[in-house]
Amino acid sequence: MERRRLSSMLLVLLFLSAAAAAAAMDFTGYNYSEALSKSLLYFEAQRSGRLPYNQRVTWRDNSGLTDGLEQGVDLVGGYYDAGDHVKFGLPMAFTVTMLSWGVIEYGEDIAAADEYGHALEAIKWGTDYFIKAHTHPNVLWAEVGDGDTDHYCWQRPEDMTTSRQAYKIDVEHPGSDLAGETAAAMAAASIVFRESNPHYSHLLLHHAQQLFGFADKYRGNYDRSIGVAKSYYASVSGYEDELLWAALWLYRATDMDDYLNYVVSNAHSFGGVGWAISEFSWDVKFAGVQILAAKVSMELGSASKQVLQQYRSKAEYYLCSCLYRNDNGSNGNVEQTPGGLLYIRQWNNMQYVSTAAFLLMVYSDYLREAGPRYRVYCPGGAVGSQELLDMAKSQVDYILGSNPMDTSYLVGFGPKYPSRVHHRGASMVSYKANNGFIGCTQGYDNWYGRQHPNPNVVVGALVGGPDRDDNFRDERGNYMQTEACTYNTAPLVGIFAKLNRLAQSTLNKFPSKAYSY
């Protein structure tokens, strides 16, 4: 009888061990450390200005060295947002906010993968530019170049002959959305640099507070003040979400109740607790606002204000929308492709996937830290930290190759990835290899239409991705699917670091597991 009981216990232990091993395999499918390293390389490919001595993307060279000269201001530096050469302030600032948030949440994991220095360099390349662009408490230079003239040409950034006119927002020409997002970026970055560079952190916070004051006092949409931005980065959601977003980041950076009270008192009038949102992007910040406010609510516990609970309710609406597949599209659920990818819209859908994965992952951590009594109550039932983490990971793994096309949408990762990315610099011979001038239309004539893979691999770029049926055409002219943007990749940095730590923990327990693609 005792032997039978021991045998049964052994079977149970073997079953639990097998189940644990099966679960562990989920975290060892991809080399997330490699994905992290490559994602940070992408930001070096997107640098504008005079490149530093330690530049690792060697097919790039200096560019935009006279930016701001005509206006008498130094606007050299910053990032090109995508495959063209306009420096758009709103998506650039959102990129830096998301990079900073990733470091705030997963800095230890990034450091464990020996990428902390590169992550800080990526952030600082953006914030150094914002400091230059904020030339007066109520003046922020918003854009360099314009999309219309830029799109007439297919040139390397080193050869640019297109307009480099600079545009600004000020008291007479407000832009609360742009000033608010830049304030959020600098406030979040001030947290990142607080220990390693306290003087720089203080400087960033000073700029952030000034910009928030400017954004709040002189209200208006930036694309009404800067018409050339409207066709490319129109502020459809208005500026209220950015004001709430900036206030929350300033609260996190300063712990000053005035900023939290601003978020609470403007919750209804600004739509913070009125909008039930199913996307998070460079334009629409409400879901991010709601997630951050929910975090504050959890930290305050029973002392949290009722309005913060309403923010949390809206945050969880967003999460529930992402979690459950809904084939008939009712109840506000986010559509999913047959392969399980979240699908918002046709053009550059991956930007919404990476941001959703990030919010799912950080909220998973918030729930775990808050304790088992905190759960998300969705129409399909209550879910906890693990379910949110699993969903985030499923989206990341789809990006890295677990999809019907068996391709990685992170360029340079895995055996198969897009080779004809819609990217001017990558699609032509490197300036380092051939510094002969390539003219405005010469790039279209000699390079754009080539069927060959790009001569330069823009490693770490997350392209727009497949359509709603999981189909993808790797063609340079298919810009809706093959163009990449900085704000696509930015949320992945923290995610890759977290998944890498989980994978390393698994490998320590199960050394026989190996990475695969």
Closest CA to 141 of 70, 51, 193: 70
Map 361-399 to HEC letters. Answer: HHHHHHHHHHCCCCCEEECCEEECHHHHHHHHHHHHHHH
Tokens 């306290």, residue? 198
Say if residue 139 is exposed, middle or buried (CB neighbours under 10 Å; 0-12, 13-18, 19+): middle
Instruction: Identify whether 206 is a catalytic site residue.
Output: no
Question: Looking at 118, 134, 207, 422, which residue is catalytic?
Answer: 422
Instruction: Identify whether 181 is a catalytic site residue.
Output: no
With a CB cutoff of 8 Å and minimum separation 6, the contacts of 462 are 39, 350, 354, 399, 409, 410, 411, 484, 485, 488, 489, 492
Helix axes 286-300, 350-370, angle to 10 degrees: 10
Q: Calculate ∠ Cα 289-126-434, nearest 5°.
A: 135
Question: Looking at 109, 146, 279, 483, which residue is catalytic?
Answer: 483
- Tokens standing for 133? 């662009």
- Tokens standing for 267? 């919750």
Instruction: Identify whether 146 is a catalytic site residue.
Output: no
Helix axes 385-400, 306-323, angle to 10 degrees: 50
Map 447-477 to HEC letters. Answer: HHCCCCCCCCCCCCCEECCCCCCCCCCCCCC
With a CB cutoff of 8 Å and minimum separation 6, the contacts of 299 are none
Do β-strands 342-343 and 376-378 pair in parallel, antiparallel, or remain unpaired? unpaired
Question: Looking at 34, 84, 158, 240, which residue is catalytic?
Answer: 84
Closest CA to 64 of 45, 53, 50, 52: 50
Instruction: Identify whether 483 is a catalytic site residue.
Output: yes
With a CB cutoff of 8 Å and minimum separation 6, the contacts of 221 are 175, 176, 177, 235, 238, 239
Dist. CA 416–CA 517, nearest whole Å: 9
- Tokens standing for 81? 């947002």
**Please, what's the largest Cα pairwise distance for the chain?**
92
- Tokens standing for 265? 């008192």
Backbone angles phi, psi at 218, to 5 degrees: -115, 90
Catalytic amino acids?
Answer: 84, 422, 474, 483
